Amino acid sequence: MMDPFDAKPLNAAQLRRLKVFADMSEEQASLFLDLVEPMQVRPNRLIVKMDELGDCMYLLLDGEVRVSLSTEGRETILAKLETGDFFGEVCLFDEGCRSADVISVRDTTLLRISKQAFQVLLEEYPKIAALFLRAIIKTVAGRMRNTDQKYVDSMLLARFWNH
């Protein structure tokens, strides 16, 4: 599992460099930072395990992770995520299990956003929550468009090979 080491202190200016926080003021980013948990993970550590219940999402403040599935002892890499990316966001909205493993590729600094922190954000800081959600939705929409295009491409290729 994860082998965290002490996270360096973070400030609002560091957060605002990431696109998810770009539309927030320094004060808003600072309030957001008070609700979340910075953590650092060494290389090749499992951060999220497929089929486990999720209770948080993660933002990559620095570093790189790979999102993968393992079947019959073989790993299939679905995506590589880098500084500014995020993962695990779906668990903030449903009670489902994680859909893939996420493993650190190198020393990685994460921001852990628990369901509880997200709920506080929604209830006590709705303007900050709206800015955060809009940024998350933009990225998720882009991911969905990419997935849709890959699906269409694979269907067209399958038709080509079947004729």
Give tens-digit pLDDT for 70-121. Answer: 888 899 999 999 999 999 998 888 878 999 999 999 999 999 999 999 999 9
CA 91 to chain centroid? 11
- The domain in which residue 45 lies consists of 4-162
CA–CA gap between residue 144 and residue 101 (Å, rounded): 19
CATH code at position 115? 2.60.120.10
The pLDDT mean for the chain works out to 87
Residue 107: which of 65, 66, 63 has the closest Cα? Answer: 63
Q: What are phi and psi of 17, to 5 degrees?
A: -75, -20
Is the distance from CB of 110 to CB of 38 less than 8 angstroms? yes
61 sits in the region (left: phi over 0; alpha: psi -120 to 50; else beta) called: alpha
Strand ranges inside 30-114, DSSP E: 37-41, 46-48, 56-62, 64-71, 74-82, 86-87, 101-104, 108-114
Q: What is the pTM of this model?
A: 0.81
Domain count within the chain: 1
The Cα-based distances of 37 to 29, 56, 91, 163 in angstroms read 14, 10, 17, 54
Contacts of 77 (CB under 8 A, 6+ apart): 66, 67, 68
Residue 115, both tokens: 């369901």
Task: Indicate the range of 3-7, 106-110, 123-127, 129-133 predicted with least confidence.
Answer: 3-7
**CA distances in angstroms from 77 to 105, 115, 125, 151, listed in the order given:** 12, 27, 37, 17
Structure tokens at 67: 């999102």
Residue 45 has pLDDT above 90, yes or no: yes
